[in-house]
């Protein structure tokens, strides 16, 4: 039976060759340097088995996603990701599982030059807490509170893919094999929009990542900025299977209230429109204007006939009544 130290050595510890990491894994704590003029951006997210992912998910996806959701939060702040810690609780030492988990985790970390600098390894029900740290130049972080009336509301990529995949996984909808393959990756391997977040600095007036559903998360921007929004449902960017689902579904708002998209929702003043178009082209990313910020609080959704749509459920809330 490998010891706790063996597990850390084998599955978690990797050489981190970065001047800002004075001391990584191995001492009582890590020692890190933040360059002058930069602010430290810190976030943490926990994934718990059977709450955030079902038991049968391949460990590689769990490792990937536990990091991806944190990098997505840094992206939403416009931060450059730098360091992460990993606190993991394991029911038993399953080396095949740990191998897969660590492949998913380190694969994504390496892609973004993020160093694992510490953590904790304990025994217990499977739970993974990742803390991610990054830098942003002083005064340049993207906040939820900066949206102003007249700003345009955008989202990146397409929304609802992960929600549809989850519904299919739970047996609530059926999908063709090809669609299922594509969408399940959107659920298990979301792309943190780091490059986009960095490039939105100086362009976006507010930004958030969509983890709990577009309506709920855009709602956070509206609340923090003390403004409202008008959304055109016809403009929402859907993949083909999601568009079909919306057409056939009894609840056409499903893609807006289901979480796990990890796209960015943000606002820009209208004079930045051209710069944003150039950015979308340069980064080869779909950016879609879905509505406008208004001064009157609240969110109004308009259907294709231009009529307002009544909204009831707004997103996922761990403590809310279902």
Cα angle: 252, vertex 305, 309; to 5 degrees: 45
Site for Mg ion in 174-203 (CB under 5 A): none
Largest CA distance in the chain: 65
Comparison of 108 and 136: residue with beta carbon closer to ligand ADP: 108
282 binds ligand ADP (CB under 6 A): no
DSSP string of 123-182, one letter each residue: ESS-EEEEEEEEEEETT----STT--TTPEEEEES-SSHHHHHHHHHTTSS---HHHHHH
Nearer to ligand ADP, 66 or 158 (CB): 66
Question: Can you point out the beta strands (E) in the chain?
Answer: 21-23, 31-32, 38-48, 80-90, 115-123, 127-137, 152-156, 206-209, 228-232, 264-268, 287-294, 298-302, 308-309
Copy the structure tokens of residue 67: 């990091």
Question: Binding string, 48-77, against ligand ADP, x = CB under 6 A?
Answer: ------------------------------
Measured CA to CA, the distance from residue 85 to residue 115 in angstroms comes to 9
If the CB atoms of residues 75 and 128 are measured against Mg ion, the closer one turns out to be 128
| From the list ligand ADP, Mg ion, none, partner contacted by residue 86 (C-beta under 5 to 8 A by kind) | ligand ADP
136: β partners: 39
Q: Does 200 bind ligand ADP (CB under 6 A)?
A: no
Single out the residue of 2, 26, 91, 107 in contact with ligand ADP (rule: CB under 6 A). 26
List the single partner that 12 binds among Mg ion, ligand ADP, none, CB under 5 to 8 Å by kind: ligand ADP
- Which range touches ligand ADP (CB under 6 A), out of 24-32, 64-72, 175-183, 247-255? 24-32
**Angle, vertex CA 296, rays to CA 317 and CA 218, nearest 5:** 30
- Round to whole Å and give the CA distance between 285 and 283: 5
Subset of 117-176 contacting ligand ADP (CB under 6 A): 118-121
Residue 16: C-alpha distances to residues 20, 28, 81, 116 (Å): 10, 17, 14, 8
Question: What is d(CA 82, CA 20) in angstroms, rounded to the nearest whole number?
Answer: 9
Q: Which is nearer to ligand ADP, 90 or 268 (CB)?
A: 90
Show the site string, 85-114: x = touches ligand ADP by CB under 6 A, - = not: -x-x--------------------------
Identified binder of Mg ion from the candidate list 6, 120, 226, 296, rule CB under 5 A: 120
Q: Which one of Mg ion, ligand ADP, none is in contact with 284 (Cβ closer than 5 to 8 A by kind)?
A: none
- Of 77 and 117, CB closest to ligand ADP: 117
DSSP per-residue letters across 83-110: EEEEEEEESS--HHHHHHHHHHHHHHHH
Residue closer to ligand ADP (CB basis): 86 or 257: 86
User: Is 12 a binder of ligand ADP (CB under 6 A)?
Assistant: yes
Applying CB under 6 A, which residues contact ligand ADP?
8, 12, 25-28, 86, 88, 116, 118-121
Applying CB under 5 A, which residues contact Mg ion?
120
């Amino acid at each position: 039976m490998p010891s706790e130290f063996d597990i850390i050595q084998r599955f978690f510890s990797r050489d981190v060759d970065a001047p800002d990491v004075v001391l990584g894994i191995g001492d009582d704590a890590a020692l890190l340097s933040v360059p002058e003029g930069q602010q430290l951006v810190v976030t943490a997210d926990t994934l718990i088995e059977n709450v955030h992912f079902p038991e049968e998910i391949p460990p590689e996806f769990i490792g990937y996603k536990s990091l991806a959701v944190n990098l997505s939060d840094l992206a939403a702040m416009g931060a450059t990701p730098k360091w992460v810690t990993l606190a993991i609780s394991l029911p038993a030492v399953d080396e095949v599982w740990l191998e897969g988990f660590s492949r998913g985790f380190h694969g994504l970390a390496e892609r973004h030059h993020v160093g694992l600098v510490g953590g904790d390894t304990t025994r217990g029900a499977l739970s993974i807490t990742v803390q991610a740290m990054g830098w942003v130049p002083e005064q340049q972080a993207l906040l939820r509170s900066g949206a102003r009336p007249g700003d345009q509301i955008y989202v990146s990529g397409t929304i609802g893919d992960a929600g549809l995949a989850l519904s299919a996984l739970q047996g609530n909808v059926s999908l063709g094999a090809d669609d299922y393959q594509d969408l399940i990756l959107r659920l298990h391997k979301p792309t943190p929009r780091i490059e986009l977040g960095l490039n939105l600095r100086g362009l976006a007036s507010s930004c958030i990542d969509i983890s709990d559903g577009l309506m709920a998360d855009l709602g956070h921007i509206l609340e923090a900025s003390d403004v409202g929004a008008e959304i055109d449902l016809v403009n929402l960017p859907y993949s083909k299977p999601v568009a079909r689902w919306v057409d056939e579904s009894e609840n056409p708002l499903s893609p807006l209230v289901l979480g796990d998209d990890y796209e960015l929702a943000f606002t820009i003043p209208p004079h930045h429109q051209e710069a944003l178009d150039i950015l979308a082209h340069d980064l080869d990313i779909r950016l879609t204007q879905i509505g406008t910020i208004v001064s009157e609080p609240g969110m109004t959704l308009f259907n294709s006939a231009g009529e307002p749509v009544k909204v009831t459920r707004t997103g996922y809330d761990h403590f809310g009544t279902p």
